[in-house]
């Protein structure tokens, strides 16, 4: 029997919450265990249940009333460190994308994504991968290119990782990339996960709310 993926949805728009809730109910592998409108209520919910009942994954909007999604991410990580997070938002601001990844998001999806894309993103993340659409891939590639010299780029990302990132930015899906590079689907997924990790852990770069720059200590 396939293990159920338990999900918490943190979204302030009741209509969109209902859409996601109904969609998840149609997937036998996905179970929505909590559906709240603010980060504060979500954190309070987690504090009131045993650790064994924590969701496998948190779908988190960024533009929430009260505490923002970005500000709440460290609190979710502290409260439920084993719960993975996917950002599901309308914000396609470059700084939001990069900040979310650096704060531990395993995926960044826009609300313009189809239900199928959202479900695919959930399964990808729960299988140890990372979810990344074409627009987000372009941001990440531009980030590395703008902050690093060509020589430093070679140390930050491998040539294959750059190829994968560029192809994602062109709108290609993992299956297409795998076929074009003559590698397995899982190899492509692994490259995407590594790109996320390198962006989140890169010591010489920083992202702040107003844009992108070099760390003052670099």
Asked whether the predicted pLDDT for residue 1 surpasses 80, the reply is no
This prediction's pTM: 0.77
Strands 131-132, 107-110: pairing kind: parallel
The answer to whether residues 154 and 127 belong to one domain is: no
The answer to whether residues 113 and 49 belong to one domain is: yes
The answer to whether residues 150 and 128 belong to one domain is: no
Cβ within 8 Å of residue 141, ≥6 positions away: 162, 165, 166, 169
- Total number of domains constituting the chain: 2
Over range 43-60, report the average pLDDT. 96
Domain that holds residue 122: 5-132
Residue labelled with tokens 């009260």? 66
The answer to whether residues 124 and 179 belong to one domain is: no
User: Which of 73, 102, 132 is a domain's end point?
Assistant: 132
The answer to whether residues 103 and 208 belong to one domain is: no
Asked whether the predicted pLDDT for residue 211 surpasses 60, the reply is no
156: domain CATH number? 1.10.10.10
User: Which of 85, 103, 132 is a domain's end point?
Assistant: 132
The answer to whether residues 92 and 199 belong to one domain is: no
The answer to whether residues 126 and 147 belong to one domain is: no
pLDDT confidence band for 78 (50 / 70 / 90): very high
The answer to whether residues 113 and 163 belong to one domain is: no
- The pLDDT, as a whole number, for residue 150 is 64
User: Mean of the per-residue pLDDT values for the chain?
Assistant: 84
The answer to whether residues 146 and 173 belong to one domain is: yes
21: domain CATH number? 3.40.50.2300
Higher pLDDT: 110 or 138? It is: 110
The answer to whether residues 38 and 112 belong to one domain is: yes
The answer to whether residues 105 and 155 belong to one domain is: no
User: Which of 114, 132, 150 is a domain's end point?
Assistant: 132
The answer to whether residues 99 and 149 belong to one domain is: no
pLDDT confidence band for 128 (50 / 70 / 90): confident
């Amino acid at each position: 029997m396939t293990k159920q993926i338990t999900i918490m949805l943190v979204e302030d728009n009741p209509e969109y919450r209902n859409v996601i809730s109904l969609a998840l109910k149609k997937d036998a592998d996905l179970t929505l265990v909590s559906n709240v409108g603010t980060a504060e209520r979500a954190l309070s919910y987690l504090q009131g249940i045993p650790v064994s009942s924590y969701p496998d994954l948190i779908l988190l909007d960024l533009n929430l009333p009260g505490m923002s999604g970005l500000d709440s991410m460290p609190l979710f990580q502290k409260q439920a460190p084993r719960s993975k997070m996917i950002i599901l938002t309308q914000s396609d601001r470059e700084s939001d994308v990069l900040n979310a990844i650096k704060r531990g998001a395993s995926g960044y999806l826009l609300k313009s994504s189809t239900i199928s894309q959202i479900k695919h993103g959930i399964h990808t993340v729960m299988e140890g991968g990372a979810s990344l659409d074409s627009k987000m891939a372009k941001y990440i590639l531009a980030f590395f290119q703008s902050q690093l010299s060509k020589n430093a780029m070679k140390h930050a990302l491998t040539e294959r990782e750059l190829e994968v990132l560029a192809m994602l930015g062109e709108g290609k899906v993992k299956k297409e990339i795998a076929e074009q590079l003559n590698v397995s689907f899982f190899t492509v997924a692994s490259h995407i996960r590594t790109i996320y990790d390198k962006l989140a852990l890169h010591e010489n770069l920083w992202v702040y709310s107003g844009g992108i720059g070099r760390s003052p200590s670099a």
